[in-house]
Structure 1
Amino acid sequence: MISSYGIEWQPLVPLWMIYTILGFALISLLSLFFLKSKGGELRAFFLVIVALFLSNPNLHKEISEALPELVLAIVDNSPSMNYGGRKSQAANALTSLHEQVNQRSDLILKTIQINGDAENGTKLFDDIYLTAEEKERLAGIVIISDGQIHDIPNTLEGTQFPQNIPFHLFLAGDPDKGDRRIVIEQAPAFGIIDQKTELTFRVIDENINETDTPATVTLRKNGDVIAEFQTPINQTITHELTLENRGEATFDITAETLGNEITPINNQAVFTANGVRDRLKVLLISGEPHPGERAWRNILKEDPSVDLIHFTILRHPSKQDGTPIRELSLIAFPIHELFEVKLADFDLIIFDQYQRQGFLPSHYLTNIVRYVKQGGALLEVGGPGYATPASLYNTALGSILPAEPLGKVSEQAFQPLITQLGFRHPVTARLPQANLSKDEKPRWGRWFRQVETDTLGGSTLMTGNGQLPLLILDHYEAGRVAQMTSDHIWLWGRNIEGGGPQTELIRRLVHWLMKEPELEEETLRAQLKDQQLTITRQSMSEKEVTLTITSPSGKITETVLRADTHGYASTRLEATEPGLYTINDNIHTVVAQQALSGPEHERVRADPTPLASIITTSKGGTYPLKDLTPKLRLVRGKGTLTGKEWAGLQAQRAEKLIGSTRHPLLPPWVFLSLLLFTAFGAWYREGR
């Protein structure tokens, strides 16, 4: 128990009355010196006693007890503490602190857990709140962490923490252990197809002596290795990338792991880049004017990214009517430039009701075959001319066209039907107003003409009159070929008998020919979000497929997918490990990354440097937990607060009031006696 005494004033009258009485006392005292009046000092003493009595002084006694000193332990539970047994070290250190405090009555321990997150890092100084009582009792702060704190202020002024207490860092992890990490300085968000773009990165070795040894770096695209090379350490490296296809591509770059590294998880970085086409170049050649010619032209011209070159054969060369040549020629047909010099620049060539008329020599058609083999795209829309001897099938193009004409043209009305294979192909799957089964009728209008053909290859997605092939798609070496055996798709655009999805079908068809990723028949995609791995697969096959998922730690999981009637299948799996997941279906390999960006994974080395200035200013110390857990020592007064095996606490000597009493300083009879004595003395003095 601690007792303290004091005097409290509890006036019985307003203060101005007491001040007035004291004023008269002062006047009486002055009269003694200036007027030589007898008894002036006794009258002044009388008035002072009256003022003192009216002020009512009390003797105040307070009884308090000493409060135990508060020790604040801040435990870092952020993601970087998962490496190298740091959480185990932190738990052992916290247990030791509890044991030490429990053995003493003059200390009490308060524990605060800070979790942090990968994106924003570990916030210690911004997220902790202390009450006024805690600040008064706080004797020291122990931070149990790997040192990776990301909101460290320059000074403690303006924070929740007092400036006169020591900060001690109990360092989890091994500060002598090194780590390698890869940092992407600049990655392309998009790239123009077939044009080079640049990736810049650095491989950083922290606390590693062998920094002169180059690192082997592997670069992969969608799970496939595209480059492997050696790079110097701690230098900015520029590597050229080329995107071959439109759409999103996932790249991951990995540096080889060191033998004694903290973790290989930050040796890898992932980024995505979107391939975009600068301009789509389409060559449309119409064999003769017809009602559907403008349908192709208008749809292609609606897309601002398409550069369309359109030629229509207005006059057969065999026609002779005596008209001068200069009046017939609107523009010279640049055959040599289009089919010899600039052919490879086109993304798509469309023959619309074209037949052999002597305009294109046979070797130019051979050039088109070579163009398709090397990755080009060809669309042939057949009119009645495709069934004649002048058909394109009877040229060099016949080797790549999948539909063989039977020499007849059917002019019976029919409704185009989606085939069983068409239900699964992205070009025709889920077309508006389409039939949902082979026995169901679609809700679109009829067509009235079709060239009768037999398919020699490819995939028949739509049929017409008498189940004859209507839309056939085929892969030819590196290129693609599509055929439509009717020229009446324009009827849908004119809303004949309710019309149909003309624009959507043409758009899908053209984009498939130009290898748009969303229209590929066989695709595998993976997305990681909120620790959920979503895998989707598009396939033309009805068979079950076994997926192999490899986690960042190397754990292999298998799951079975079966596509629905539209060729689509999906599954969702938990993915709690941070890092890169690889998914394979025996055809494709894709990757997905559990987010590792942010300060918690950029630097994982146990490092006291970020907190060094705060610790030095507060006279605290740093203690690696790999060596020992220091003892707590309470220091009273000024002195050293650190030792080799102990951490000092600055005693605050906070107290708690448990009782108080008040008694009059002098009893009333004492005041009365003094008043009578001074009054009698003044009368006696003045009477002499």
Structure 2
Amino acid sequence: MITNYGIEWAPLLPWSVVYLVIGLSLATLLGLLVLKSKGSLFRSSFIALITLFIANPTLHEKISEPLPELIIAVVDNSPSMTYDQRRRQASDALSDLHAQVNKRSDLVLKTISVSGTEEQGTNIFANINLTQEEKSRLSGVVFITDGLVHDIPASLAETDIPDEVPLHLLLAGDPQRQDRRLIIEQAPAFSIIGQTAKLTYRIVDDNADNLSLPAWVTLRQNGEKVSETQVPVGVPFTQELLLENRGLTTFDLSVEPLPDEITEINNRAIFETNGVRDRLKVLLISGEPHPGERAWRNILKADPSVDLIHFTILRHPQKQDGTPIRELSLIAFPIHELFEVKLADFDLIIFDQYQRQGFLPSHYLTNIVRYVEQGGALLEVGGPGYASPASLYNTSLGTMLPAEPLGTISETAFHPLVTELGLRHPVTASLPDANTDNIQPPTWGRWFRQVDTDTLSGWTVMTGAKAQPLLVLDHFGKGRVAQITSDHIWLWGRNVEGGGPQTELIRRLAHWLMKEPELDEEQLKASLSNNRLTVHRQSLSDTPVELTVESPSGEIFSLPLEPGSNGLAIKTIEATEPGV
């Protein structure tokens, strides 16, 4: 303790006034002394007292006491500290540090707790924020952690810690315990469907008894086991991946654990790869020339990723008009090459107002049925011929076409309406200017002809004249089938009565047929952000469901989901555990 005495001045008037009074007083006294006037000493004393009174001095005593030096303890409470006995060891170390500091009066301890996350890791240095006064008193920093720190700076100049301050590390954990980690070194961000992509990963064993033994690694694709491979430990291993569907595909890698391992959470790794198509091959067969034929061609050709093969039947085989064969410039219809040799190469087949005309033998139509059943896609756009005896429904294709013709045609004006089910289906949900319920009509233009049908299967997402099925979607085997029971969709493209979303509807329809994941009617997705797990479920059903959620530690619990009006249910929960 240090004691000092001093005088503080708090003048009653500004110092300029005080200095002026002192100057005038000194001049007056000097004149009196020169003239040897009587009473000059008394007058001098009186003026000095008045000046002292105006200056208002105060006698004070300063007592200063040195502050204790500051010790900072940074305690790691990240998820990795829950393994083994690390958290207990850290708690014991902090208690012992408190006891040591409390024995000394010249030290004080400040504790900073750091909670890391699965996504951002453990950022210890970013959590040390010191005032200028704390920096001047700081004499040491003690880190109590397991060593998994993700923001170690290049130098202390990048932190709030002064350069001359010593750093100490109390490392939690058992250095003799073995642990295995699976590290993905290179994963493909995207891959072309049908072509292989390469994945490179490495197995790291810490303190393992035998590093030469290979380990079994299991690869799962969207939850299904793809392969199980013996992989050498410690060296990069490359494995080929094959994507079959467009969109995000989730891959899950897991390696067998070591005996008595610290934790098995880092024995798994997960990543997503986006599947893209190189080229989309579409076969369009128009049964006859008609005004809407060019609309289909223009829409499909507008997409640069689409390879379109378009055939139009211009001349019926039975047509006899006397034209000499040598004057006909029509090419022969390559039915064998299209429907036998290269049928499986097409992603989508479209029959536009096609009816039996003798071009396609029945076994070629049977090939199309087999093609769809094995994962292909078929779109049938029906004109008046679909209601005739020559309808495609009366061929082998009828086994998979969901709309059965009644043999009649409605030629009345009608507004295409999205059904209640269609308001939930991604193909027709949120179409521009559509009806949002059964009362408010759409603002798009009308159509004027439709084949009368009855649906035997599938989902009717749009209706037309007399509330009959207009757009029907269905699954057949591993493939998909869609039917439009009117040939007037081209009126929307010509802006008749204001037109309608022709391009958008055909685009969605074609992508749904080719199994675009974002247009699936049944979807379940999950995303993790800021330790919160968000689940999205798209469904045509409006029945509440319960999901089964399994945490990384193996805990299983139920998660109720209430679907919304558009078929989308969203639920967010806290993700309190690290891992996959």
Superposition TM-score tier, normalisation by shorter sequence = 0.7 to 0.9
Amino acid at match of 1:539: S
- Rounded to whole Å, the distance in 2 between the matches of 1:318 and 1:273 is 53
Distance 1:280 1:386 in 2: 27
- Asked whether the 8 Å contact 2:121–2:149 carries over to 1, the reply is no
Helix, strand or coil at the partner of 1:96: helix
Distance 2:138 2:503 in 1: 77
Distance 1:436 1:69, change over 3 A: closer
Matched letter for residue 263 of structure 1: T
Aligned partners of 1:245, 1:158: CA distance in 2, in Å?
A: 47
Taking the TM superposition and a 5 Å limit, the aligned residue runs for 1:508-547 are: 508-547=508-547
Alignment of 1:198-217 (within 5 A): 198-217=198-217
- Could you tell me whether the CA contact under 8 Å between 2:68 and 2:137 is conserved in 1? no
Asked if 1 retains the 8 angstrom alpha-carbon contact of 2:524 and 2:536, the reply is: yes
Structure 1 counterpart of 2:120 = 119
User: Which is worse superposed, 252-261 or 190-199?
Assistant: 252-261
* Structure 2 letter corresponding to 1:339: F
Query: Where does the alignment leave 5 or more consecutive residues of structure 2 unmatched?
Result: 4-62
Q: Does 1:551 align with 2:551?
A: yes
Say which is worse superposed, 114-123 or 488-497, in terms of deviation: 114-123
Q: Which amino acid aligns with 2:489?
A: I
Match of 1:409 in 2: 409
Q: Distance in 1 between matches of 2:156 and 2:436?
A: 70
- Quickly say closer, same or farther: Cα 1:72–1:504, change in 2 above 3 A: closer
**Shift, 1:74, TM fit:** 4.2
The number of aligned residues is 519
1:611 is matched with none
Alignment of 1:208-607 (within 5 A): 208-580=208-580
Shift of 1:65: 8.6
* Shift in CA distance, 210/499, structure 1 to aligned 2, threshold 3 Å: same
What is the identity, as a one-letter code, of the residue corresponding to 1:119?
Q
Equivalent pair of 1:77/1:115 in contact (CA under 8 Å): yes
Secondary structure of the 2:356 match is coil
Question: SS where residue 421 of structure 1 aligns?
Answer: coil
Q: 8 Å contact 2:492–2:502 — kept in the other structure?
A: yes
Q: How many Å apart are 1:313 and its aligned residue? A: 1.1
> 3-state SS of the aligned residue for 2:185?
strand
- Classify 1:153/1:439 alpha carbon distance in 2 versus 1 (closer, same or farther; 3 Å): closer
Structure-2 separation of matches of 1:571 and 1:167: 45
Partner amino acid, structure 2, of 1:178: Q
CA distance in 1, matches of 2:210, 2:566: 56
Q: 1:100 — aligned with what?
A: 100
Displacement of 1:488: 0.6
Change (3 A) 1:130 1:562: closer
In 2 relative to 1, CA 125–415 (structure 1 residues): closer, same or farther, beyond 3 Å? Answer: closer
- Counterparts in 2 of 1:68 and 1:267: CA distance versus 1, 3 Å: same
Q: Measure how far apart 1:546 and its partner are.
A: 1.3
Give the CA deviation at 1:271.
Answer: 0.6
1:58-77 alignment to 2 at 5 Å? 71-77=71-77
Q: For each residue in 1:471-527, what CA deviation from the matched residue of structure 2 results, as whole angstroms up to 9, or x when unmatched?
A: 121211111111111101111111212222211211111111111111111111111
CA RMSD across the alignment: 2.9
Cα offsets for 1:283-332 (capped at 9, x unmatched): 00111110111111111111111111111111222223333334322444
Which protein has the larger Cα radius of gyration, Structure 1 or Structure 2? 1
Decide whether aligned partners of structure 1 residues 491 and 66 sit closer, same or farther in structure 2, where only a CA change above 3 A counts. Answer: closer
Question: 1:511 is aligned with what amino acid?
Answer: H
Cα distance in 1, alignment partners of residues 368 and 572 from structure 2 = 45
Looking at structure 2, the residues matched to 405 and 393 of structure 1 have their Cα atoms a distance apart, in angstroms, of 8
Deviation (angstroms), 1:449:
1.1
Asked if structure 2 preserves the Cα contact closer than 8 Å seen for 1:219 and 1:253, the reply is yes
In structure 2, C-alpha distance between the alignment counterparts of 1:481 and 1:194, rounded to whole Å: 22
The separation in 2 between residues aligned to 1:423 and 1:133, in whole angstroms, is 63
- 1:447–1:110 CA distance, 2 compared to 1 (3 A): closer
Change (3 A) 1:147 1:485: closer
1:353 positional shift: 0.8
Q: Does 359-368 or 150-159 show the bigger shift?
A: 150-159
Q: Which stretch of structure 1 is more off in the superposition, 183-192 or 417-426? A: 417-426
Matched, 1:81 2:81: yes
User: What's the secondary structure of 1:445's corresponding residue?
Assistant: coil
Question: Which digits, 9 at most, give the CA deviation of each residue in 1:421-477, with x for residues without a partner?
Answer: 323222222222222233443322221111122222222222222222221212111
**How far off its partner does 1:394 sit?**
2.1
Do the aligned residues in 2 keep the contact of 1:135 with 1:162 (CA within 8 Å)? no
Structure 1, 422-431 or 242-251: larger mean CA deviation = 422-431
Separation in structure 2 between the aligned mates of residue 240 and residue 543 of structure 1, nearest angstrom: 41
CA distance in 2, matches of 1:356, 1:154: 77
Q: Following the alignment from structure 1 to structure 2, what is the Cα–Cα distance between the partners of residues 148 and 562?
A: 40
Q: Deviations over 1:628-656 (max 9, x none)?
A: xxxxxxxxxxxxxxxxxxxxxxxxxxxxx
Give the letter for the 2:481 counterpart: V
Q: State the distance in 2 between where 1:161 and 1:285 align.
A: 78
CA contact (8 A) 1:114 1:124 kept: no
CA contact (8 A) 2:282 2:349 kept: yes
Tell whether the 8 Å contact from 1:179 to 1:207 is kept in structure 2 after alignment.
yes
Comparing 380-389 and 181-190, the one that deviates more: 380-389
Q: Following TM superposition, by how much is the alpha carbon of 1:114 offset from its aligned partner in structure 2, in angstroms?
A: 5.3
* Cα separation, partners in 2 of 1:567 and 1:145, compared to 1, 3 Å: closer
Give yes or no for contact 2:79–2:577 (8 Å, CA) kept in 1. Answer: no
Counterpart secondary structure, 1:579: coil
* 1:110 Cα deviation after fit: 5.0
Q: How does 1:170-181 map to 2 (within 5 A)?
A: 170-181=170-181
Distance 2:155 2:513 in 1: 64
CA distance in 2, matches of 1:499, 1:2: 93
| Distance 1:500-1:201 versus aligned 2 partners, 3 A rule | same
Q: Which residue type is aligned with residue 567 of structure 2?
A: G
Rounded to whole Å, the distance in 1 between the matches of 2:404 and 2:281 is 28
Q: Distance in 2 between matches of 1:423 and 1:555?
A: 37
Partner of 2:241, secondary structure, is strand
CA distance in 2, matches of 1:458, 1:482: 9
Decide whether aligned partners of structure 1 residues 389 and 210 sit closer, same or farther in structure 2, where only a CA change above 3 A counts. Answer: same
Residues 559-586 of structure 1 show CA distances to partners (whole Å, capped at 9, x for unaligned) of 2223234322222222222222xxxxxx
In 1: Cα distance, 2:240 partner to 2:158 partner:
49
Q: Is the 8 A contact 1:126 1:151 kept in 2?
A: no
Judging changes above 3 Å, is the alpha-carbon distance between structure 1 residues 204 and 332 closer, same or farther for their aligned structure 2 residues?
same
Give unpaired runs (5+ residues) of structure 1: 4-62, 581-688
Q: Would the alpha carbon gap of residues 130 and 570 (structure 1) be closer, same or farther in structure 2, given more than 3 Å must change?
A: closer
